[in-house]
Amino acid sequence: MRWGLTEAHLTRANFQAALHSFLPPAEKKQLIDQLQEAYGFVHFTLPSSSSSTSPSGTRTSTPPPKPSVTFGTWADRS
């Protein structure tokens, strides 16, 4: 069976998995360095430490308001 994935797809998946892992920053950098060495990359850099690499870092503190939905009974219909 073929999935249609290329070596580039798998390489990118490995780097994305390392980048978005729950490792502490120092261990994450070490893992990225190991991947760079294994794949022969020299220009891959981690985002600055001031920006978070977790999805929660991109969220605002207050979520946008959700639409209000009210459910009534048949008797409440007018």
Residue 39, domain extent:
22-47
Tell me, yes or no, whether 60 lies in a domain.
no
Query: 73 falls in which pLDDT band (50, 70, 90)?
Result: low
Tell me, yes or no, whether 66 lies in a domain.
no
pTM, two decimals, is 0.51
Tell me, yes or no, whether 43 lies in a domain.
yes
Length of the chain, in residues: 78
Tell me, yes or no, whether 77 lies in a domain.
no
Tell me, yes or no, whether 29 lies in a domain.
yes
pLDDT value at residue 41: 75
Tell me, yes or no, whether 13 lies in a domain.
no
pLDDT in tens, 20-38: 999 999 999 999 989 988 9
Number of domains in the chain: 1
pLDDT in tens, 40-66: 876 656 666 554 445 555 555 666 666
pLDDT value at residue 23: 93
Two structure tokens written together for 25? 């920053």
